Amino acid sequence: MAEKKIQLQNIDPIDIYGINDRIINHLCSYFPDLKVTPRDNIIKLKGSYKDMDNFQNAIDALTRIRMKKRHLNTDDVDSIFLSKTDRKSGESKAVIPNENDKDMIVVGQNGKIVTARTKHQKQLVKDYATHDLVFALGPAGTGKTYTAIALAVRALQNKEVRRLILTRPAVEAGERLGFLPGDLKEKLDPYLQPLYDALGDMIASSKLKELMEEGTIQIAPLAYMRGRTLENAFVILDEAQNTSLGQLKMFLTRMGNNSKFIVTGDMTQIDLPNKEDSGLEKGIRLLGKIRGISVINFGTEDIVRHPLVSKIVSAFDKS
C-alpha cells in the first residue's frame, strides 16, 4: 500500500475540510479504499496510486472552487465528479475530470469543469470541429443544448468567434404575450430562461451582463433573426421542433463567413397547435446528406439528469 502527503498551501484548511470535517468526509465517501488522515494543512493518504492521484485532483478542484466563492458545500464536492460505467464490471464509478481531460469542454463557474459525458455529447464535440452546421436531436435531459452552449462559450473565450447568439422560438408566447406584464424583453425572458441558466453555469453573472450589454452575447427569440447575416458568430437554435420549415430555412440562411451553427430539437416535444407544422424533421430529410452538415441522434442512454428521467422518457415513448 502506497503513501502520499498533500500539503494545502495558501488556504485555510477548514475551508477545505469544512465544519466538523463535513466536506473532507463527504469527499472521502468517493474513495472507500483510501485511508485519509487530515491534520492541520497536511492530508496523509494510504492506498492505490490511482486513488491518491484522483484524490489530489479532487483537492485541487475544490481549492479552485473555494477561490471563487466564500464557502464550500457538499454539492461542490459532487460537482467535480462524473459518473462513468466500467466496461468490465458494468458498475457506475465516480471519476474526476481535470483540465487535461480530452473530453473537457470549458471550465465554468466555481471551477466546475464542463465535460462531454456521453457517447453522443462527445460526438457533438467532435463533429463541431469538422462541420459548420450540426443538428443535435433527441429527448429531454440528454445535454444537447448544454453541450452546445459549452462549445459556444469555449469558442468565444478562445476568440474563434466574435459573437455568441442563442435563439429559440417563443411558441407559447403566441396569443398570450400581450397579457404578460412588462416590456417585450420581460415578456420573452421566461421562454429564454433555460439559455440564461446554462450560460450562468459557465460565465460569472457580472461578466455575462457586460457581454450581453455590449452585444457579444445575444439571446433573442427566433423572429429577431430575420434579415440578419451572422458572420464570425457561434449561433444556436434551441427547441427547433417548434419551427416551421420556412422559419428553419430563414434561420439557416442567416449563416455568414466564419460561423458555426448548432440546431437542437426533440421531435417528441412539439408545442405547435398543429404538430404537422413542425419543419425540423422535413428539414433534416432535405439537408441531412449535404457535406458539411452533421446530424446526431441522441437517445435515452444519453440522459444525464435524474435516473428517473430516462425511465419517464421511455415510458412516454411506448405510450
Residue 259 confidence (pLDDT) = 95
Query: Who has greater pLDDT, 124 or 75?
Result: 124
Residue 88 confidence (pLDDT) = 47
Residue 260 confidence (pLDDT) = 95
Cell of 172: 407559447
Identify the CA nearest to 277 among candidates 241, 251, 250.
Answer: 241
- Contact indicator for 293, 133 with CB cutoff of 8 Å: yes
* Cell 417548434, residue located: 242
In the chain, how long is the greatest CA-to-CA distance?
69
Query: What confidence tier does 137 reach under pLDDT thresholds 50, 70, 90?
Result: very high
Residue 282 confidence (pLDDT) = 95
Q: Cα separation of 101 and 97, whole Å?
A: 6
Q: Cα separation of 289 and 123, whole Å?
A: 17
Mean pLDDT of 186-197: 77
Compute the mean pLDDT over every residue in the chain, rounded to the nearest whole number.
84
Q: Check pLDDT > 50 for residue 91.
A: no
Its pTM stands at 0.69
Query: What confidence tier does 102 reach under pLDDT thresholds 50, 70, 90?
Result: low
Strand partners, 261: 133, 235
Q: Cα separation of 94 and 119, whole Å?
A: 17
Neighbour tally for 268: CB within 10 Å: 12
Tens digits of residue pLDDT in 193-252: 888 888 988 888 888 899 999 999 998 888 888 889 899 999 999 999 999 999 999 999
Backbone angles phi, psi at 204, to 5 degrees: -55, 140
